[in-house]
Amino acid sequence: MSDGTVAPPARKLFGTDGIRGRANEWPMTAGLAMRLGQAAGCRFSRAATHRCRAVIGKDTRLSNYMLEPALTAGLVGAGMDVMLVGPMPTPAVAMLTRSLRADLGVVLSASHNGFEDNGIKLFGPDGNKLSDAEEAEIERMMADLPKLASAARLGRVQRLEDAQGRYIEAAKMTFPRGLRLDGLRIVVDCAHGAAYKVAPLVLHELGATVIGVGIAPDGTNINLGCGSTVPEFLSRQVATHGADLGIALDGDADRVVLADERGEVVDGDQILALIADSWGAAGRLAGGGVVATVMSNLGLERHLAAQGRRLVRTRVGDRYVAEAMREGGFNVGGEQSGHMILADYGTTGDGLVAALQVLAALVEAGRPASEVTRRFTPLPQVLRNVRFGGASPIGRPELDQAIRAAEARLGGAGRLLIRKSGTEPVIRVMAEGEDETLVAAIADELAALIATLSPPAPEAE
């Protein structure tokens, strides 16, 4: 099956989460960043009757020393004033964009990728990521650049010195007043990324004993052997330090993965279930359920249904989750990978704030994380990634026939999802069901077929 959604407007530069690429190679070059700044600046200031403003935040990648000034130059040339906030989590930039009444927010980050990659994410004045249509419009403007500002209307640049303090206070305000983290030992892995200062401070100020790891960025070590995509590192740290909970963020801190006191990993689906249960019991859960993507485990859906709640699925990408939340009036949504969007507190994924909600539940329950965070038993789920060359094999008759046959074998006791990655030439195969052996066999068979239908081009020697 596909993800069942309407195809977005055609875009060549923007993917599922902004523009991504290898640093200093097209499209992630200084020239592209300046051109994007010019187009986005003109797009968001063209009908304004006030002096327009943009907020730029970044993670700790070396290439941000190249991209930040280039993007700033483009925005200034479009007549926008620019506020630089330095290394800050993506959700902090979204929050500051709204708080400062800015017209545009920009984050320079490739999220969980290594330092060699980088990316540019754009937020509107409401703190939400731009829609597919808005991104397509900006691409068109980059190709046919509108008139820039006159010499007298060029923007100015300043640094917001108290940006970190503003976010720290905002994050602490999401933790229930009257509760403290006294007596809890918490490992927080900041992936040598954007939250390397703010996340340990928030936890410390709430009373926890904090063991910070991944808090020494050098420009090239972001996500290197640590962070939310390397949960085994977090598990080892929890065991080494005898911690009550481990929190792993990614490079821009918009996603989170946890480890309980035994070092066992808690993924985004379990976090969603816990927050839904906690907020539901308090009468806070809006929309009658939760929004997640097609990748979330069927066990989560069954758990919510048993509580009389529904799971609304979207295509992969946290901004699609956010859009569905706004349309349906939900206040909890996220992805299995750890993007948690809590609309009561922010407009985009915030790993630290999500972790604080889990910690609040731990404090209130007075029980260990291994008991509180295990909300359901996930069904066996197997993922396979297959690189391809040329045209995508999705839609080929041979693959369609094989998918139908596989779905028949699963019957009503499982799911099958075949989709193209939004960031690289990869077909992702996901099979899920009650019979783990059958699920693995189906995933392997489909992956092998895809590889024969459209093999990747050989790498140059």
| Residue 352 near residue 345, CB atoms below 8 Å | no
SS (H, E, C) 359-427: HHHHHHHCCCHHHHCCCCCCCCEEEEEEECCCCCCCCCHHHHHHHHHHHHHHCCCEEEEEEECCCCCEE
| Rounded CA separation 318/340 (Å) | 8
| Residue 419 near residue 428, CB atoms below 8 Å | yes
421 is catalytic: no
Q: Strand pairing partners for 20?
A: 119
For 142, residues 6+ apart whose C-beta sits below 8 A from its C-beta are 13, 35, 36, 38, 39
Phi and psi angles of residue 186, each rounded to the nearest 5 degrees, phi first: -125, 125
- How many CB atoms are located within 10 Å of the residue 184 CB? 19
| Residue 264 near residue 235, CB atoms below 8 Å | yes
CA-based torsion, 164, 165, 170, 172: positive or negative:
positive
For 92, residues 6+ apart whose C-beta sits below 8 A from its C-beta are 57, 85, 163, 166, 167, 170, 194, 198, 253
| Residue 300 near residue 272, CB atoms below 8 Å | yes
* Residue 278: half-sphere exposure toward Cβ, Cα within 13 Å: 25
| Rounded CA separation 393/64 (Å) | 36
* DSSP structure string for 31-57: HHHHHHHHHHHHHHHTT-SS--EEEEE
- Give per-residue burial for 349-358: e unless 16+ CB within 10 Å, then b: bbbbbbbbbb
- Among 63, 111, 228, 337, the one annotated catalytic: 111
| Rounded CA separation 381/400 (Å) | 21
CA 18-22-24 angle, to 5 degrees, is 105
Nearest to 293 by CA among 263, 253, 325: 325
Phi and psi angles of residue 145, each rounded to the nearest 5 degrees, phi first: -60, 130
Tokens 């806070």 sit on residue: 284
The DSSP H or E segment spanning 321 is helix 318-328
Q: Active-site residues: which are they?
A: 111
